[in-house]
Structure 1
Amino acid sequence: MLKKLLSGVTAAACACSMVLMPGSDVVKSVPAAADAPDSYHDDWLHVNENAEVVDMYGNPVWMTGVNWFGYNVGSQVFDGVWSANMHNCLDIIADHGFNLLRVPMSTEIILQWKNHEPDPILKVNPYENPELVKTFDENGTPIEYMYSFDIWNKAVEWCRENGVKIMMDIHCATTNAAGHNYPLWYDDNYSTDDWLEALSWFCEQYKDDDTVIAIDLKNEPHGKPEEGKFAKWDDSTDLNNWKYAAERGAMACLEQNPNLLIMIEGIECYPDFARGADWTTPAVDYAHYGEPSKVFGAWWGGNLRGVKDNPVDIGKYNSQIVYSPHDYGPLVYEQSWFHLEGKKPNYTSYKFDTQSLLDEYWYDAWAYLVEEHRYPLLMGEWGGFVDEVNDPSGANTQWLTLLRDYMKEKRIHHTFWCFNENSSDTGGLMYDNFQKWDDEKYEFVKPSLWQDENGKFISLDHKVKLGKAGNGISLSDYYSGSHEVEPITVTADYGDANCDGKVDIADAVLIRQYLADPKKHALTEAGKANADCADSGKGITEADALAIEMVVVGKIKTTDLPTT
């Protein structure tokens, strides 16, 4: 266990404090409070060499948040503000321990704000939200509402007061309740350049406000090759190449604010190149119906297989990348890995557990990125029904339980779907027209929220405690105590330097390339552990490559690694 101490932010009398870095005996100097950034610039987050998201002092953090949509669907505000007080709703989110708010938006609404175009509609109940009305007449009838962008900035202000950070998500190009069904980041109304313009403008607006700490570049890129419009992932500059677009989108953001975390989702379909598939291979091949598909399918935005061979590369900003899949249960779609029998929702049987989900879907689609310590993950959407009425068989609840516990174990960041009650296939944390809180669902989600050993919810803000209910603490509160932090442990699969699941000559070649130029031919943390297979513990040397070659020619077995 690793003890970590942070005092530079809160102890003005201390000229310098020392922080023990993860997995190391090296201490890092922390600036004195007088030299620290101000409260609008001290909470930016970054990714370290262990694929952990850390604060400016190198302390690991855990983003555990919730989604609240509305800006993407045409309400011009969060849904529910038509009946509930927006400020109170944000207080509720903070008081229940969510330290990050993912806010779906559209390219259209951001460009509307940039160009100061009037609101086409504004779904605000003025009597529940008088602070969002500019003027009333003498009879108390609203005459003029605040502009939707000004209302949004009130939300940013109230999140800041509550110690809640914000991640803006481009959910769709054109504002539409069904906009997420369109597969790409551009459509007939808004181009890729429009999307880049929206990202750039939004990030410039909040470059001096660390309430907005992250950008989700595009919600759920998807589509199948046979559908005509689909997202792909390769090293091309094709218009529909999401990897290439994500690099451009990330740069549009980071050129305005280099401190933002950039969330990059996956796609839907990825070809099985080993079986001769390519980007023209149909996901559903009716000419060979009944045979195993040559395309790996996934939830929309959930397929990150392409990262293994073609990771997003934004140069000096790579330390800001977090990959962000989505995952759902059988009540959203009856995927093969759930092994369901019977009709929805009254399944007569289902057969899946954590290991089967990893084997059949999770690992190759996205979990390998954390299992092999390549990149951090943020599960941008996960959620669903857990009550007996909507989930009588318990299949959905079992999936949610397994995913929740796996994310806790691996410290996967996440934003639960959702605060809204009006998500038809999942439900939300509110009900009765946004007037009541769903305690049953919340008690299910609560164990996955970042808490200290006393059950206090931990903010991502160094100075502001999370919420106003007295059950939250600030990040400095947490690290100024003697809190034990689980270090990342790497289980070695000796010889597999490139982490592709096998030991072959490619591993020996990679080790020699790494020894010649470790920056150009970098190894992941898991790869380093695997490569140290001769005299393990003495570091990576030529002897490791020779040991692998002995395996390749059959002189020793992989089970003989590490050699001594």
Structure 2
Amino acid sequence: MKKFTRTAAALICAAALTVTGAAPSIGQTKKLTAQAVDTNNDDWLHAEGSRLYDMNGNEVWLTGANWFGFNCSENCPHYLWSADADDCLTEIADRGINIIRFPIATELIVSWMEGTPNPVSSFSANADPAYKINADFCEADGKTPVDSMQVFDIMMKKCKEHGIKAFIDIHSPHTDNSGHNYNLWYGKAGVTTKVWIDSLVWLADKYKDDDTLIGYDLKNEPHGKGQEGDEAAKWDGSKDENNWAYAATQCAEAILDVNPHALILVEGVEQSLSGAQAGDYWGMPDRKENSPYIGAWWGGNFRGAREYPIKPKQGTSQIVYSPHDYGPSVYEQTWFHLDKSATGAAFDTQSLLDEYWYDTWAYINAEEIGPELIGEWGGHMNNAANLKWMTLLRDYMIDHHINHTFWCLNTNSGDTGGLWDSLGFTAATGTSIVWNEEKYKMFEEALWQTKSGKYIGLDHQVALGKNGISLNDFYANYAASEGSNLDGGKTSSGKIVNADPSKTTTTTKPVVTTTTTSGSTSTSSSTSTTTVTTTPEVSNRTFGDANCDGAVDMSDVVLIMQSLANPNKYGIKGSDAKHMTDEGQKNADVIGKDGVTTDDALTIQLYLLGKYTKLPVE
């Protein structure tokens, strides 16, 4: 973040005076929003019935947006050549988006896997030198831009710092700004089904110990009309290469072999067999009347999943069904018209369910077959029928706990527009993002938040932006009281995830026995197994969080000073919420192993002012 503020510094320094009696001497300070990084690797999710849960069985709701570019010829999220990545992610987090879907091309991942990452085309001598805006997208020489894999790794690191989760979506086999128009997951740029699977397994293995990248959307919008036969994606019980259900199952199993904690998102197809007449088959010509095929949006048709659900050998705990759904501004589908004379605005929730939603995809959630995440929904705001459709789908997702990622943040999606209208950068003030406030207001109601409007993140330790909270904070301080905008507002109190869980380790060591008999010595050895429970030294806690509320702020400084000044009332021996716990003391020791002192309190103040970019201070 490159915006500066004196007001924030003055407020924090004034608060410091009340605790320490002296304010630190700091000049102009950097406004800091990213918190201490959570590297516990404990934010993985799993499915039970139609919902997603964290490791302790707490319900979660994924509410995010798409940011495309890794699928395009630029090989990076769009705007990194004209906007500061941290500024963008700061605003994304501050606006309550807890997960980003990053479209990407298999061809690009293959270049990483083979050790020859494709360059970022916008980072060149003939293009805007983006590394002057994003210095960490440049090598140490200040001249050489990093490659596309390094950009991806940097973006994942930045998402972690801002408390944002991510998943990728294979938007096309080949790198192409219009690659989503291609039907299948294989057949372009040398990508076979095996290459597609191998590349995803490689990436899943690379990120298996980083819970920032929590899932893999296997293929964007497999599609094609039935009469195209082998050239179209179908959903049935065969082992044909174009059978999406079979291919997705094989790919899911391969990914889960290397990372059993990853979510696997499976989209639908475009058409399914209608069963209109006996003897109808996939690939036959269409009929004007009594068609053998039932249509849907690309990637939206899950009618085949009733008979052939996705069931990898590892079980279904990581499977998420991910339909796409759009309104009449993208295409005037028949289900937007209740009769031939309808204008498109006559539909309502019940008619959409009856005519399209329920049998096409909504039954999966309604009948507890599995959780769903609407991977793409959205559209322009200047169409009354489309706005009505967006509002109806939004409310249905809230009422039925359906996860979603809005299409999209980008300004340059021609058929939908974006949540952003424009972006610009100046060295003096940083990135300026103009949001489409009308669209955001509509979308914002479907972001996971407490009744009092605190955005809820998916990271157990790191709060989501300036008006957000961590998952631990929600379950410790909000869930049982006010709840969230799900389930009528009330949620179980849940169980927070400790930053430093005890670990059980099993060690095997030889036992040597020596026996002396009549002047001779014989030696034998055996092996025994010892189980030892230990609490290791860690650097992965939320340092600075003395009161264990999931955030680092002035209340932590106050508690440290109170516990030092009056240990009987506020110290570790106390038993109520006003006392610093053992966990809090470990978090509060930010400058060494010498225990908690006033120097730790001062260091946290300096961190809040931007003097330090991370805790602990080394």
Query: The TM-score by the shorter chain falls in which range?
Result: 0.7 to 0.9
Q: What is the Cα deviation at residue 157 of structure 1?
A: 0.7
Q: What is the Cα deviation at residue 292 of structure 1?
A: 3.5
Structure 2 counterpart of 1:92, one-letter code: E
RMSD: 2.1
**Whole-Å separation in 2 of the counterparts to 1:311 and 1:340:** 31
**Whole-Å separation in 2 of the counterparts to 1:47 and 1:294:** 34
Give the TM-score of the pair, scaled to structure 2.
Answer: 0.67
Aligned with residue 459 of structure 1, among 449, 457, 470 = 457
Greater shift after overlay, 113-122 or 248-257?
113-122
* Matched-pair contact (CA < 8 Å) for 2:463–2:469: yes
Q: What is the Cα deviation at residue 118 of structure 1?
A: 4.6
Partner in structure 1 of residue 445 of structure 2: 447
Structure 2 counterpart of 1:226, one-letter code: Q
Q: What is the Cα deviation at residue 249 of structure 1?
A: 0.9
Q: What is the Cα deviation at residue 152 of structure 1?
A: 1.1
Distance 1:93-1:149 versus aligned 2 partners, 3 A rule: same
Deviations 1:200-250 (A, max 9, x none): 000001100111111101100000122341011111110100000001110
Partner in structure 2 of residue 198 of structure 1: 199
* Matched-pair contact (CA < 8 Å) for 1:87–1:155: no
**Whole-Å separation in 1 of the counterparts to 2:344 and 2:41:** 52
**Whole-Å separation in 2 of the counterparts to 1:117 and 1:203:** 18
Structure 2 counterpart of 1:319, one-letter code: S
**Whole-Å separation in 1 of the counterparts to 2:340 and 2:86:** 44
* Matched-pair contact (CA < 8 Å) for 2:43–2:211: yes
Q: Give percent identity, aligned residues only.
A: 47
Mapped pair 1:424 → 2:422 = no
Partner in structure 1 of residue 327 of structure 2: 329
Q: What is the Cα deviation at residue 121 of structure 1?
A: 4.0
**Whole-Å separation in 1 of the counterparts to 2:132 and 2:320:** 41
Q: What is the Cα deviation at residue 340 of structure 1?
A: 8.3
Q: What is the Cα deviation at residue 151 of structure 1?
A: 1.4
Q: Helix, strand or coil: the match of 2:239? A: coil
Q: What is the Cα deviation at residue 438 of structure 1?
A: 1.5
Q: Superposition pairs for residues 139-178 of structure 1, below 5 Å?
A: 143-178=143-178
Structure 2 counterpart of 1:479, one-letter code: Y
Larger Rg, first or second structure (1 or 2): 2
Deviations 1:53-83 (A, max 9, x none): 1001111100001100000011111011121
**Whole-Å separation in 1 of the counterparts to 2:262 and 2:469:** 23
Partner in structure 2 of residue 544 of structure 1: none
Mapped pair 1:306 → 2:304 = yes
Partner in structure 1 of residue 392 of structure 2: 402
Mapped pair 1:242 → 2:261 = no
Structure 2 counterpart of 1:84, one-letter code: A
* Matched-pair contact (CA < 8 Å) for 1:282–1:295: no
Partner in structure 1 of residue 430 of structure 2: none
**Whole-Å separation in 1 of the counterparts to 2:43 and 2:344:** 47
Partner in structure 2 of residue 215 of structure 1: 216
* Matched-pair contact (CA < 8 Å) for 1:281–1:295: no
* Matched-pair contact (CA < 8 Å) for 2:119–2:147: no
**Whole-Å separation in 1 of the counterparts to 2:207 and 2:361:** 30
Partner in structure 2 of residue 52 of structure 1: 51
Deviations 1:23-73 (A, max 9, x none): xxxxxxxxxxxxxxx84321110112x321100111110000110000001
**Whole-Å separation in 1 of the counterparts to 2:285 and 2:252:** 29
Q: What is the Cα deviation at residue 281 of structure 1?
A: 5.2
Corresponding residue pairs, total: 431
Deviations 1:184-210 (A, max 9, x none): 100142100110111100000110011
Partner in structure 2 of residue 516 of structure 1: none
Aligned with residue 477 of structure 1, among 452, 473, 476 = 473
* Matched-pair contact (CA < 8 Å) for 2:374–2:403: yes
Q: What is the Cα deviation at residue 348 of structure 1?
A: 5.0
Structure 1 counterpart of 2:252, one-letter code: A
Structure 2 counterpart of 1:430, one-letter code: W
Greater shift after overlay, 111-120 or 148-157?
111-120
Distance 1:487-1:111 versus aligned 2 partners, 3 A rule: same
Q: What is the Cα deviation at residue 384 of structure 1?
A: 0.6
Structure 1 counterpart of 2:269, one-letter code: I
Distance 1:225-1:342 versus aligned 2 partners, 3 A rule: closer
Deviations 1:377-433 (A, max 9, x none): 0000001111x3xx2xx0110110100000010010000000101000000011235
**Whole-Å separation in 2 of the counterparts to 1:450 and 1:201:** 32
**Whole-Å separation in 2 of the counterparts to 1:275 and 1:487:** 43
**Whole-Å separation in 1 of the counterparts to 2:344 and 2:47:** 42
Deviations 1:154-188 (A, max 9, x none): 11111001111111111110110111111110014
Partner in structure 2 of residue 103 of structure 1: 102
Q: Helix, strand or coil: the match of 1:401? A: helix
Q: What is the Cα deviation at residue 88 of structure 1?
A: 1.3
Partner in structure 1 of residue 139 of structure 2: 134
**Whole-Å separation in 1 of the counterparts to 2:307 and 2:199:** 30
* Matched-pair contact (CA < 8 Å) for 2:411–2:421: yes
Q: What is the Cα deviation at residue 325 of structure 1?
A: 0.2
Greater shift after overlay, 225-234 or 179-188?
225-234
Q: What is the Cα deviation at residue 341 of structure 1?
A: 9.5
**Whole-Å separation in 1 of the counterparts to 2:283 and 2:337:** 26
**Whole-Å separation in 2 of the counterparts to 1:402 and 1:79:** 30
Partner in structure 2 of residue 375 of structure 1: 370
Q: What is the Cα deviation at residue 130 of structure 1?
A: 2.2
**Whole-Å separation in 1 of the counterparts to 2:290 and 2:275:** 14
Distance 1:264-1:277 versus aligned 2 partners, 3 A rule: farther
Q: Helix, strand or coil: the match of 1:203? A: helix
Partner in structure 1 of residue 542 of structure 2: none
Partner in structure 2 of residue 264 of structure 1: 266
Greater shift after overlay, 347-356 or 334-343?
334-343
**Whole-Å separation in 1 of the counterparts to 2:372 and 2:179:** 25
Q: Helix, strand or coil: the match of 1:151? A: helix
**Whole-Å separation in 2 of the counterparts to 1:195 and 1:443:** 38
**Whole-Å separation in 1 of the counterparts to 2:168 and 2:285:** 31
Give the TM-score of the pair, scaled to structure 1.
Answer: 0.73
Structure 2 unaligned runs (5+)?
Answer: 1-37, 124-129, 425-432, 489-618
Q: What is the Cα deviation at residue 294 of structure 1?
A: 2.4
Partner in structure 2 of residue 320 of structure 1: 318
